[in-house]
Structures are given as structure tokens and as C-alpha cells.
Structure 1
Amino acid sequence: MKLIASLTSPYVRKIRVLLLEKGIPFELVLDSPWEATTHVPDFNPLGKVPALVTNDGEVFFDSPVIADYLETLGVYAPELPADAMECVRIRQIEALADGIVDAGVAWFLETRRPEDKQMPEAMERQRGKILRSLGELEKRIQGREWLRGDALSRADIAVGCALLWLDFRLGSFDWRSRHPGVAAFVARLSERPSFAQTVPVL
């Protein structure tokens, strides 16, 4: 299978980590959707990465959808449990992580505008979303090794990729000092080979 990807996308990183954790072989096809010569819309009409081309030629896009597809392959270890309600709870944490990234992207793009065109109130709004989400994650990780259950799940992977992306794009934002439990959790994740092999690069 082929993963259409950018090395800076946290959504791509989530899928790369999943593929590596499961030991599923894949070809990484680098293509930035921001370039004029991009072919990403050939795979995803929304023009966004990641997109996954299966061995049968079927294309899936949007990282939660791709992650769902990978679970159908029955490759150990599963990143979603068998219990349907527990799956919903894990997907909710994944949605929270993706929301952190969405807010972070909006904040980051605002910083790229000319200084006299930037809207501090818009950046503060996105910062508030991230801080509230971090507060929720801090409560959830207390006394636990993983966010849900007793093994690595999609919730853990999504949160790790989201928060490490904040370091990559918004490095001056100190989220760790206020959220030591989450900071320690992300530090543990960073030591896994799947995370070490997918550090974003420009």
C-alpha cells in the first residue's frame, strides 16, 4: 500500500505510527498539498493528506477513516478494543487530539500573516481551546499509563502526535509546565521506535 503524505503533518504522523506499530509494510509517497504541482487532489478531492492507496487500489482519506481501515486488516496489536462503547471513548479522545491540531494550525497560520494583519484575539481563542483540551487530558492521564485501557491505543497515538506537533510548529508555547502528567506521558511515547522514526521535518 501507499501512503500519500507530508512529513510535517500530524495527521500523517498518526497513520505512520499506526503502520509502524502494526508492522504493516507501506510505501511513503511524499507530496505537499501546498505546492502548485501537487497530486494530492488526485487521491483526495479535498486536497489534504494523508491518503492511503490499498494494495487493491482503493483510496481512503482522512486519518480516522484510514485508521479504521487499518483495524479491519486484523493485524496485531489492535489499537481499538473489541468493546463498541470503549471504541467510542477512544475515538472521542482521538477527536480531542485532532481538535488540538486544528486549533494549533489556525494559530500557526495567523502567526504567518504580516504582523500588522495578525489578530491577537483569534490566536488567543485558539490557545484557549488547546489549554482547555490539555486540562482535560491532564485529568484523564492521572494515575494511568495509557489514556484508556491497559495498552497503547489510537487515543494515545493521536494525542502524542498532536502535542509533539505543537512543539514543532509553536515551539514557544510552553504547555508542559502546566500539564506535567501529560508531559510525562508524551515523553514516554517519544521513546517508542514508531515515534522516533516519524519526527516531523521541513
Structure 2
Amino acid sequence: MILIGQYDSPFVRRVAVALQHHGLAYEHRPWSVWADAESIAKYNPLRRVPVLVTDDGESLVESAAILDAIDGMVGPERALLPPSGEARRAGLRVCALATGLADKAVSLLYEHVLRSGDRRSPVWVSRCVQQIGETLDLLERERAARGGDYWLGAFSHADIAVACALRFLGEAHPTLVDPARRPALAALSARCEALPVFSAVVQPLHVAV
């Protein structure tokens, strides 16, 4: 298989962590959505990452769909979310909140990178900051209420999604991250980042357009 995209993307990284966790071999092509856009377009015309090219040549796009396919590859006993039921719904909800948060963090980053001074939209910036902050607060309350080492009791896609989003947010917008204010999230992030499957797929944030 081939994984396309850079590890500084929280979406690419969550796929890479799952591949590492399952011991699934893949070739990594760290293509930039800017510098390598036309190369990516051969696999995804949206020029977005991640893209996972399967051994039979199928190009899977969007991290949630890719991870669902990976769960299917390894079977229900090894999958990082149950195939159905309350735990699956809970995990998917956390993943949606975490990836939505990451998407807002990406949007906010590009607002600063692509626009300068009075060209930036204060309304858009304020909205993104509010959405990020309130989502973090919700995730903090829910993580603290659940207790334990991991969100669903055992390591899952929920933990991966949240940890990858938190790392990206901390690098892209450090002023929006306050571990003392959200200790439950900080503890989960530290626990995940200490795992070999996370440390194997890490890349400092770099944006070049």
C-alpha cells in the first residue's frame, strides 16, 4: 500500500498511526498539498490528503473512510472501533469532534498564511477560535468524566483522532492550547504521544505555499 501525505497533517497521521498499530506495511510518499498538488491529483482530484492506495490500486480518500477500510482489512477482533453498537457510535462521535476541530485549526492556519494584515477576516478568525475552544471544552469534560487511560476503555480511533488533533493544534496555534486548563486532554495526548506507533510517524509542522 501507499500512504500519500505528510505526517504534520492530523488526518494523514491518524491513518499512519493505525497502519503502524496493525503492522500493515506501506510506502510513505510525503507529498505536500501545495508543492506536490498535481502528483496528488492523479490519485485524488480534490488534491487533498490522506490518500491510501491499496495493493490492488484503489485510491481511498478521506481519513474516516480510509480507517473504516483498514478496520475491515484487519477484521472485527482487531479493529480499532467495534462494527456496531453504542461504543462505535461514541467513538465515531469523538472522532468527528476531533477531526472537525482539526479542520478548523487548518482553516485558521491558512487564514494567517494566505492573508496578511487587513486582508484577514476578523469574523472568520473569531469564529474558528470559538469553535476550537468550545470543542476542546466539550472533549475535556467528556474525557474527564470517562476516566481510565483511553476513551472507550481500550485504545481506539477516538484516542488517535484526539491526540493527532491536539498535536497539530499545539504546533499551529500554541496560544489556543492550555494543558493546565484541560488536564484530561493533556494526559491523553501525552499517553498517546509516548506510544511507539505515534513516535514513528511524527513530523514538525511546516507550511510552504
Identify whether the pair has TM-score above 0.5, normalized to the shorter chain: yes
1:147 correspondence with 2:151 = yes
Name segments (4+ residues, structure 1) moved above 6 Å.
none
Question: Residues 36 and 184 (structure 1 numbering): CA distance in 2 closer, same or farther, change over 3 Å?
Answer: closer
Question: Residues 38 and 191 (structure 1 numbering): CA distance in 2 closer, same or farther, change over 3 Å?
Answer: same
1:57 correspondence with 2:57 = yes
Larger mean CA deviation between 11-20 and 1-10 belongs to 1-10
* Other-structure match for 1:122: 124
Distance of 1:108 and 1:33 partners within structure 2: 14
Say whether the 8 Å CA contact 1:6–1:32 is kept in structure 2. Answer: yes
State the secondary structure of the residue aligned to 2:42. helix
Identity within the alignment, %: 32
Instruction: Give the CA deviation at 1:22.
Output: 0.8
1:72 correspondence with 2:48 = no
* Other-structure match for 2:196: 193
Residue of 113, 134, 137 corresponding to 1:135: 137
State the secondary structure of the residue aligned to 2:4. strand
Distance of 2:104 and 2:15 partners within structure 1: 20
Say whether the 8 Å CA contact 1:33–1:39 is kept in structure 2. Answer: no
Structure 1: runs of 5 or more not aligned: none
Instruction: Give the CA deviation at 1:35.
Output: 1.8
Q: What is the one-letter code of the residue matched to 1:133?
A: T
1:183 correspondence with 2:201 = no
Aligned length: 201
Distance of 1:131 and 1:37 partners within structure 2: 31
1:170 correspondence with 2:173 = yes
* Other-structure match for 2:6: 6
Larger mean CA deviation between 128-137 and 33-42 belongs to 33-42
Instruction: Give the CA deviation at 1:36.
Output: 6.0
Say whether the 8 Å CA contact 2:71–2:78 is kept in structure 1. Answer: no
Q: Deviations along 1:48-70, whole A, 9 cap, x unmatched?
A: 01111111111111000100110
Distance of 2:201 and 2:173 partners within structure 1: 18
Instruction: Give the CA deviation at 1:37.
Output: 5.8
Larger mean CA deviation between 116-125 and 187-196 belongs to 116-125
Distance of 2:199 and 2:37 partners within structure 1: 30
Say whether the 8 Å CA contact 1:13–1:198 is kept in structure 2. Answer: yes
Instruction: Give the CA deviation at 1:101.
Output: 0.8
State the secondary structure of the residue aligned to 2:28. strand
* TM-score normalised by L of structure 2: 0.90
Q: Deviations along 1:38-88, whole A, 9 cap, x unmatched?
A: 311111121101111111111111000100110111266320124333212
* Other-structure match for 2:26: 26
Q: What is the one-letter code of the residue matched to 1:193?
A: P
Question: Residues 38 and 30 (structure 1 numbering): CA distance in 2 closer, same or farther, change over 3 Å?
Answer: farther
